[in-house]
Amino acid sequence: MLELDGYLLAPPRAQFNLAFDTYDTWCLLLPTAGAFDYEVGNTHGTAKFGDLVVCPPGGTLHRRMRTRTSFFHARFTTELDPPPGGTRVRDLDRLRGNLALLERADTAIARHVVTDLVLMLHRAQASQDELVHSAMTYLNEYYASPDVSLNELAAELGLSPSQLSRRFRAVRGITPVAYLRDLRLQKARELLTETNDTLQVVAEQAGYRSAFYLSRVFSSHTGQSPSAYRRTSRV
């Protein structure tokens, strides 16, 4: 299921030896203490203990330490499909146990640890999918309310707003704010095409308080004013 190509349990350092690297195999990097910034493809963030950063074969991993940091780094091949980018795992005791095993510096044990870390990533990803699905269900239901609060939604899901945004983007490729905006603009397009409602009515039904604000958002993201879209989209 997994073959280990190399690993390193590094003591605290002020910086990585390389600011970025490209790998032929999967790469996993996690801080055991301290924190570092990372970028993998279109994903980026800050990793601290509990965050596992994965780079797929052929990808480039950018990293920069925020503080003096110790870390675990592994390269491996696997039939599994770990989620690229940063993933937060919940079972920190299990993570600590795995890292304690690495101090024995045995390749067979290291292979077992990396395998377990990959399985933890899959479990964390499934949890992310459930949370993101709940967030999408909420936004799909309440997008027409101008009082939708992403802070309240995040709190209801047991996350901070930044955690919700990061998890949502990891699964959907966009932030919940952008997802909400797209829902509202799609509704506005439908109303502009299918009804003769005034722009103010369209705005209110699409989740905006005023026709002026709808016009500004609509023009910014479609390249057309609502009135121009209405004229050109009707058959």
Q: Which of 82, 87, 85, 75 is nearest to 28 (CA)?
A: 75
Positive or negative, the CA dihedral 183, 187, 192, 198 is: negative
User: What pLDDT, on the 0 to 100 scale, is given for residue 204?
Assistant: 96
**pLDDT higher than 80, residue 105:** no
Burial class (CB in 10 A: 0-12, 13-18, 19+), 38: buried
Span 41-88, pLDDT tens digits = 878 889 999 999 999 999 999 999 999 999 999 999 998 888 888 888
User: What pLDDT, on the 0 to 100 scale, is given for residue 158?
Assistant: 86
Cα 93-102-58 angle, rounded to 5 deg: 100
Span 151-203, pLDDT tens digits = 999 988 888 888 888 888 877 778 899 999 999 999 999 999 999 999 999 99
**Residue 85 CA, distance from chain mean position:** 8
First to last CA, the chain: 56
- Spatial separation of the C-alpha atoms in residues 179 and 143, rounded to whole Å: 10
**pLDDT higher than 90, residue 15:** yes
Sheet holding 69-78, edge to edge: 2-13, 69-78, 26-33, 51-55, 85-88
Contact 116, 98 (CB under 8 A): yes
Instruction: Write out the H or E segment, with its range, that includes residue 100.
Output: helix 92-102
From residue 147, alpha-carbon distances to 34, 83, 143, 152, 204 in Å are 38, 34, 9, 10, 12
pTM higher than 0.75 for the full model? no
**pLDDT higher than 80, residue 127:** no
Mean pLDDT for all residues in the chain:
90
Q: How many CA atoms lie within 13 A of 3 on its CB side?
A: 4
- Spatial separation of the C-alpha atoms in residues 136 and 142, rounded to whole Å: 10
